[in-house]
């Protein structure tokens, strides 16, 4: 494929790594760990991988050398900038340990392991993908590794290729499954190690030991670039309120980080909406009040950031969706037979009084979407709801009422945007390029150290890269028990926005000013060259979390 000028220059970039793994390194074992909750349950489910110590790599004079090791790598789930650098880090790490080591890439995600689809990643291939975005080097996929048959199919191909370790690059669920696989392979004494790597632009895979998931830095910078441009447009044209929805269904980290970078007038945080038990009308009223306050100052423009998952964070709507899913599943044949223009009435008649009232209060476009557009599993497709447009419409209606009552004196015209795919495959920022490459190097060191059931860890990330701390965290230490599809399962605790954490508290202390004033900041696009103050800055979230 033809390369852009930027790709050609960027291929030369040498990622920065922690000084402790740059040349020689030695592994230091810390204290035994416990899971974050439900220790007895987790211990019972992971008898072989529970309680292992945190490990740290320390600078040493002797370079790590060993017999050749064959490793398989898997990209799991949605794209995140930097995946290619994790892979090049593993590759370089393995080759430095022994030039005869081999790296295999399983194609199209975890399914490639089960279906035995793979490619050997040679130097030529790796060099094509250094410092680039995307997961196209081997593709990704959403197959979940959960069944023993899948594990055994994986074992078969690993044995055939002489693979001693698998690296699974994925989000919380994929890393949970990596640990289940590690436990199974250890119990079977198969000799195959499994190492996880923390990936997701959503930023919800983090904890005391994992400071951030890779991709979050780059993706939020791309979104903040275009949000800043839109803000500057709003402030130049002075005639539109821009409603901007941002990817991230289960947590609002992306939205919060973009807010910290760009200082829009309104930012909705799903976790707060849930904690305060707000209704859709509460949210709409909150926005409408800000619009009216700015209008009173002659400012008939603004920007609103909305997390993709907002609708599901509203407790009343969450309950409605849950009942809808159950009710439609229970009455599927009957519901399918109902005439199209009677379907909404059918739904109302079959819901509890509370939920029927909420359902009726929604704009028809949304109630139709909830009732009529279901996925192959029969669930309502919440992700199809254009929340940004829904809010803009509802705010508009409220303001029209207020206008009649004399409570609103301005104009209200809107534009709406949704950003997600725009950022998942951007070329990694210097931070993500360095962080990912380091994670890959660390994964190779965990492998040569014989570790399994660990997640590669690089910490101290608000400092320059040479001061970063490299090591591994037992995945079981991040787990608790949660209900999934009606069953209790061991899972890595998802990190939602902490309403008592630094990032949210800083935002909360500023938002009233930001709402009424025009305090926009225009970050501009990611710079891969130039002054370090521009090219190497981390996310505001990370800075505020580690002040």
Residue in 139, 146, 144, 145 with CA at minimum distance from that of residue 117: 139
The nearest distance, CB 196 to a second copy, in angstroms, is 20
**For residues 262 and 253, what is the distance between their CA atoms, to the nearest angstrom?**
14
E strand or H helix at 492: strand 487-492
Instruction: Give the interface with a second copy as residue ranges (CB under 8 A).
Output: 1-10, 78-79, 108, 132-136, 139-140, 222, 225-226, 228-230, 232-233, 235-238, 242, 261, 263, 415, 417-418, 421-427, 518-531, 533-535, 537
245 sits in which H/E element: strand 241-246
**Min CB(418)–a second copy separation in Å:** 8
Q: Which helix (H) or strand (E) holds 119?
A: strand 118-120
- For residue 81 the two structure tokens come to 């900038």
Nearest to 427 by CA among 527, 326, 282: 527
Q: Which is nearer to a second copy, 236 or 485 (CB)?
A: 236
SS3 annotation, 458-484: EECCCCCHHHCEEEEEEHHHHEEEEEE
The residue among 11 and 161 lying less far from a second copy, judged by its C-beta, is 11
Least distance to a second copy from the beta carbon of 413, Å?
12
Q: Which two tokens stand for residue 158?
A: 């690993």
Sole residue written with tokens 């390369």: 3
In sequence order, what are the residues at sequence separation of 6 or more whose Cβ sits closer than 8 angstroms to the Cβ of residue 365?
A: 390
Q: Is residue 5 classed exposed, middle or buried when 0-12, 13-18 and 19+ CB atoms within 10 A define those classes?
A: exposed
* Least CB distance to a second copy at residue 164 (A): 28
Q: Are 93 and 445 in contact (CB under 8 A)?
A: yes
202, 217, 393, 432: the catalytic one is 202
Angle at 279 between CA 278 and CA 284, to 5 degrees: 100
CB closer to a second copy out of 414 and 476: 414
| SS3 of residue 227 by DSSP | helix
Q: Closer to a second copy at the Cβ: 51 or 264?
A: 264
Minimal CA–CA distance to 372: which of 328, 434, 326?
328
Q: Which is nearer to a second copy, 503 or 523 (CB)?
A: 523
Between 126 and 448, name the residue whose CB sits nearer to a second copy. 126
What angle, 0 to 180 degrees and rounded to 10, lies between the N-to-C axes of helices 172-187 and 148-161?
Answer: 70
Q: How far is CA 352 from the centre of its chain?
A: 35
Helix, strand or coil, per DSSP, at residue 385: coil
Cα–Cα distance measured from residue 67 to residue 340, given in angstroms and rounded to the nearest whole number: 67
Nearest distance, CB of residue 19 and a second copy, angstroms:
25
CB of 60 to a second copy, least distance (A): 36
Least CB distance from residue 528 to a second copy, whole Å?
7
Query: How near is the Cβ of 384 to a second copy at its closest, in Å?
Result: 11
Give the nearer residue to a second copy in terms of CB position, either 186 or 427.
427
Catalytic, 202? Answer yes
**Torsion 433-439-443-444 (CA) sign:** positive
Contact 246, 255 (CB under 8 A): yes
Which residues share a beta bridge with 106? 118
CB of 67 to a second copy, least distance (A): 34
CB closer to a second copy out of 429 and 461: 429
What is the rounded CA–CA span in Å between residue 544 and residue 260?
A: 10
Q: Are 497 and 545 in contact (CB under 8 A)?
A: no
List strands edge to edge, sheet with 241-246.
266-267, 302-307, 241-246, 414-419
Nearer to a second copy, 216 or 359 (CB): 216
Residue 439, H or E segment: helix 430-448
Task: Indicate the Cα dihedral angle 264, 266, 268, 273, nearest 10°.
Answer: 150
Q: How far is the CB of 533 from a second copy (least distance, A)?
A: 5
> Which backbone phi and psi does 71 adopt, to 5 degrees?
-130, 145
Cα-flanking dihedrals φ and ψ of residue 326, to 5°?
-65, -45
Q: Are 537 and 224 in contact (CB under 8 A)?
A: no
Of 84 and 459, nearer to a second copy (C-beta) is 84
Active site residues: 202
């Amino acid at each position: 494929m033809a390369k852009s000028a930027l790709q050609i220059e960027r291929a030369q970039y040498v990622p920065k790594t922690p000084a402790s793994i740059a040349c020689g390194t030695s592994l230091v074992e810390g204290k035994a760990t416990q899971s974050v909750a439900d220790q007895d349950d987790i211990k019972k489910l992971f008898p072989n991988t529970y309680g292992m110590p945190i490990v740290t790599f320390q600078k040493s004079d002797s370079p790590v050398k060993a017999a050749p090791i064959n490793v398989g790598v898997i990209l799991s789930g949605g794209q995140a900038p930097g995946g290619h650098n994790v892979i090049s880090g593993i590759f370089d790490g393995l080759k430095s340990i022994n030039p005869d080591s081999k790296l295999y890439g399983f194609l199209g995600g975890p399914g490639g392991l089960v279906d035995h689809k793979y490619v050997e990643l040679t130097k030529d291939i790796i060099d094509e993908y250094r410092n680039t975005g995307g997961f196209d080097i081997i593709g990704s996929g959403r197959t979940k590794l959960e069944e023993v048959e899948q594990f055994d199919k994986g074992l078969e191909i690993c044995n055939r290729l002489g693979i001693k370790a698998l690296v699974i690059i994925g989000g919380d669920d994929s890393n949970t499954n990596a640990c289940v696989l590690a436990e199974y392979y250890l119990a079977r004494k198969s000799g195959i190690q499994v190492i996880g790597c923390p990936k997701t632009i959503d930023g919800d895979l983090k904890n005391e030991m994992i400071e951030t998931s890779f991709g979050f830095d780059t993706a939020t910078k791309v979104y903040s670039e275009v949000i800043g441009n839109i803000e500057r447009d709003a402030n130049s044209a002075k005639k539109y309120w821009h409603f901007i929805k941002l990817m991230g269904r289960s947590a609002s980290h992306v939205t919060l980080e973009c807010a910290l970078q760009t200082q829009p007038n309104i930012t909705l945080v799903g976790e707060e909406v849930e904690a305060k038990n707000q209704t859709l009308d509460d949210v709409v009223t909150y926005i409408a009040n800000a619009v009216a306050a700015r209008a009173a100052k002659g400012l008939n423009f603004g920007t609103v950031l909305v997390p993709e998952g907002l609708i599901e964070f509203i407790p009343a709507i969450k309950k409605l969706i849950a009942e809808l899913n159950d009710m439609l599943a229970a009455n599927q044949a009957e519901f399918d037979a109902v005439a199209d223009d009677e379907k909404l009435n059918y739904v109302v008649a079959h819901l509890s009084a509370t939920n029927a009232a909420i359902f009726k209060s929604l704009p028809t476009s949304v109630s139709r979407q909830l009732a009529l557009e279901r996925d192959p599993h029969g669930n309502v497709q919440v992700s199809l709801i254009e929340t940004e447009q829904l809010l803009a419409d509802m705010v508009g209606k409220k303001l029209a009422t207020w206008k009649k009552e004399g409570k609103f004196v301005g104009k209200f015209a809107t534009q709406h945007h949704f950003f997600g795919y725009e950022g998942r495959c951007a070329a990694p920022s210097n931070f993500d390029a360095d962080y990912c490459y380091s994670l890959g190097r660390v994964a190779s060191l965990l492998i040569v150290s014989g570790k399994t059931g660990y997640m590669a860890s690089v910490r101290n990330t608000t400092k320059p890269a040479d001061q970063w701390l490299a090591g591994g965290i037992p995945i079981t230490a991040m787990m608790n028990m949660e209900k999934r599809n009606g069953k209790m399962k061991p899972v890595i605790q998802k990190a939602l926005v902490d309403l008592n954490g630094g990032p949210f508290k800083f935002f909360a202390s500023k938002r009233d000013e930001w709402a009424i004033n025009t305090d926009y900041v225009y970050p501009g696009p990611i710079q891969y060259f130039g002054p370090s103050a521009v090219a190497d800055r981390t996310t505001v979230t990370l800075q505020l979390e580690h002040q």
